[in-house]
Amino acid sequence: MKQLSVLFAIALIWGCKEQKPAEPSIAETMKTYTIEQMMDNEAIGGGSFSPDKSKMLISSNRSGIYNMYTVPSSGGEMMPITQSDSASVFGISYFPNDERMLFRMDGNGDEIYHIYLRDTDGSHKDLTPDKGKRASFYGWTDDKKGFFYTSNKRDERFADLYEMDLETYTSKLLYQNNDGYFLGGLSKDKKFLPLIKPINTNDADLHLYGMEDKSIRKINTNQSGNSPEDFSPDGKFLYYTTDDGEEFAKLMKYNIADKTSEETMTRSWDIVGSYFTEKGKYQVTYINEDAKNSIEVMDVASGKNIDLPSFDGMDITNVGFSRDEKSMRFYAGGSHTPSNLYVYNLESKEQTKLTNVLNDEIQAQDLVNAKVIRYKSFDGLEIPAIYYLPHQASADTKVPAMVWVHGGPGGQSRQGFNSFLQYMVNHGYAVLAVNNRGSSGYGKSFYQMDDLNHGDKDLKDCVAGKDWLASQPEIDAEKIGIIGGSYGGYMTMAALTFTPEEFDVGVNLFGVTNWIRTLRSIPPWWEAQKEALYLELGDPNSADSVRLREISPLFHTDKVTKPLIVLQGAQDPRVLQVESDEIVAGVRKNGVPVAYVLFEDEGHGFVKKENQIKAYSEALKFLDIHLKVDKGIPIKDGDTMTKETDI
């Protein structure tokens, strides 16, 4: 017995000696980053293989503005191809048989895009030089001697289809769009063109136009959401998505010869895109699965999906294929990490990481991985949302919070990386990105629930999101604000106007405040969808204008009592600068703290790093003063805010 006691004592002493100190938590080791550090996370996009596959053409904002770069497919340093310091440059594609390039550029955010050539000698040429007219690339011809594009140069309301010759750079009109259709992709043999006629913001009629006999036939039999995707490699079928008879979009194929349709794929979420690779070996399909992309790549011959690379804690968000179909480029990332570009050899299964976009000064573990949550709204409707909780938040260390509202109407907050959101979270703000009724991705009934009802039930969903936040043990229920851009900016102003006691501060990023003016001044190239917008929002030239005035915050600024910051681009063609000018002037009459940041060289959203740094740092500074520290401290306009323009 005594021996047993000695052995027990020895074991106890040994166990004590082996105990290690507890690992410090992320909250104890995390760093707080400046806006300059956070915005120095590189954003990249695109990925066109050169003809010999030795390089890829991409776009990056590493210079502070988007420019074109090439990166070796085997890995290596990115090489700048353009060096714009004003307008953003976005690469479109290498030419099919040589190293000429196509890119697009607008005028500082005015959305008047032109298509440019970058020749092998480094010279540039505007291939669509019509002043004030928009052009969009629509794919290469099957013989690779030209490309298709759309332009509204004939009639600024509608996009016609053209073909550009690669040798002479002259174009010819292929289809004159007199009836306000949206155009699908032309079949490889140039015989058929899908045409989409919007009915409302969800539903559209799908037609097939015969290029030779100028015939037109309607494909859908019932009113539903329809979208053309691609023609089969043999040209016998048109694949399209439809939500006919369903809540979510499924994939169909239409037999051109016998005019019949059959279902080819259905999932429990919207199928949002499907296409065939160059030679038809693979069919790539995108599914919008709970606010993130799920991608399936099917080997057409076997009918089975191929295995894609997998990553711990990340998802593949986008894929593209080389013309010989032996290589695939893809992006992988998540809410907590910006997406990097990879190349994957489909035969050897070897993958190569081409970029490292996270700023070297940032510890990856300091960023927050968001999670999808759901909460009940005022009427019991379940609302999906994406929740970012700071590492430093706890029941003992409560943090302020912001309700984030996406753009639209009809947009969706998604599980992707957002430097601004991570910046707020890193500085101790929880963020709940709500997908209120009217958001896409959750079925057509949910999508249409806010029609002719904006500023009411959709706003109540946001208030319910605030209530959900307030019930969380890590959140300071007395310090919750609202933030959003475009339609989200409208919701911010609607919240401060129509529910003035619910939120403690508002951040309005280029938000609509006068629906009558916005709907009357929509860009001319939106003509094809104008009537559909009117059906959802109201016709400003009818009796609907009475309701539109009622829901427009500009006419009710006397009700605003909480601090507000407004950020706006002067070149914005969607939400005009006057919207923000007037809402700022109106709220200031109440003696409410208001800050206004205006950028002369931005449009609908801020794409230049210098402007992003300024905008988001000013927003956080405003929140720190009016929400985090003491939301009762008044400031004089201009005391703490740096302005481009003060109204």
pLDDT band, very low/low/confident/very high, at 512 (cuts 50, 70, 90): very high
pLDDT band, very low/low/confident/very high, at 11 (cuts 50, 70, 90): very low
On the question of pLDDT at 51 being above 70, the answer is yes
User: Cβ(127)–Cβ(115) under 8 Å?
Assistant: yes
For the chain, the C-alpha Rg in angstroms (whole number) is 27
Question: What residue ranges do the domains of the chain occupy?
Answer: 368-514+552-629
Q: Is 274 helix (H, G, I), strand (E, B) or coil?
A: strand
Residues in the chain: 647
Going from the C-alpha of 438 to that of each of 127, 206, 478, 518, the distances in angstroms are 39, 23, 28, 19
Q: Find, among 78, 135, 73, the residue nearest to 102 by Cα.
A: 135
pTM, 2 dp: 0.92
> What is the widest separation between alpha-carbon atoms in the chain?
105
* pLDDT attached to residue 19: 54
pLDDT, tens digit (0-9, with 9 covering 90-100), for 557-614: 999 999 999 999 999 999 999 999 999 999 999 999 999 999 999 999 999 999 999 9
Burial of 561 (0-12, 13-18, 19+ CB in 10 A): middle
**Lowest model confidence (mean pLDDT) among 3-7, 223-227, 265-269, 546-550:** 3-7
pLDDT band, very low/low/confident/very high, at 431 (cuts 50, 70, 90): very high
* pLDDT attached to residue 1: 40
**Long-range residue pairs from 24-27, CB within 8 A, at least 24 positions apart, any chain:** 25/391, 26/365, 26/366, 26/391, 27/391, 27/392, 27/394
Which region, left, alpha or beta, applies to residue 180 given φ > 0 means left and ψ of -120 to 50 means alpha?
A: left
- My answer on whether omega of the bond before 309 falls inside 30° of 0, hence cis, is no
Edge-to-edge strand order for the sheet containing 101-105? 89-94, 101-105, 114-118, 124-126
Distance CA 150, CA 135 (A): 5
Say what percent of the chain tops pLDDT 90: 91
- For the four alpha carbons of 604, 605, 608 and 614, in that order, the dihedral sign comes to positive
Q: Find, among 172, 154, 175, 151, the residue nearest to 163 by Cα.
A: 172
Q: Average pLDDT, stretch 208-218?
A: 98
Edge-to-edge strand order for the sheet containing 337-345? 315-321, 327-334, 337-345, 351-353
Q: Which residues contact 243 (CB under 8 A, 6 or more apart)?
A: 202, 224, 225, 249, 250, 270, 444
pLDDT, tens digit (0-9, with 9 covering 90-100), for 415-430: 999 999 999 999 999 9
Going from the C-alpha of 392 to that of each of 85, 203, 504, the distances in angstroms are 38, 45, 22
Q: Average pLDDT, stretch 404-421?
A: 96
Going from the C-alpha of 493 to that of each of 157, 509, 583, 647, the distances in angstroms are 31, 10, 9, 18
Q: Find, among 331, 330, 404, the residue nearest to 370 by Cα.
A: 404
* pLDDT attached to residue 21: 62
pLDDT band, very low/low/confident/very high, at 346 (cuts 50, 70, 90): very high
Distance CA 516, CA 538 (A): 9
Tell me the pLDDT of the chain averaged across its residues.
Answer: 93
Q: Is 46 helix (H, G, I), strand (E, B) or coil?
A: strand
Q: Find, among 631, 641, 561, the residue nearest to 596 by Cα.
A: 641
Mapped to the 3 state alphabet, what secondary structure does 536-587 carry?
Answer: HHCCCCCCHHHHHHHCCHHHHHHHCCCCEEEEEECCCCCCCHHHHHHHHHHH
* pLDDT attached to residue 645: 27
More confident residue, 631 or 122: 122
Q: Average pLDDT, stretch 61-80?
A: 97
Q: Rounded to the nearest 5°, which phi and psi values hold at 464?
A: -65, -35
* pLDDT attached to residue 22: 65
Amino acid identity at 517: R
Q: Find, among 617, 616, 496, 630, the residue nearest to 562 by Cα.
A: 496
The label of the residue with tokens 């699965």 reads 289
Asked if CATH classification 3.40.50.1820 holds for the domain at 368-514+552-629, the reply, yes or no, is yes
Say what percent of the chain tops pLDDT 70: 94
* pLDDT attached to residue 6: 35
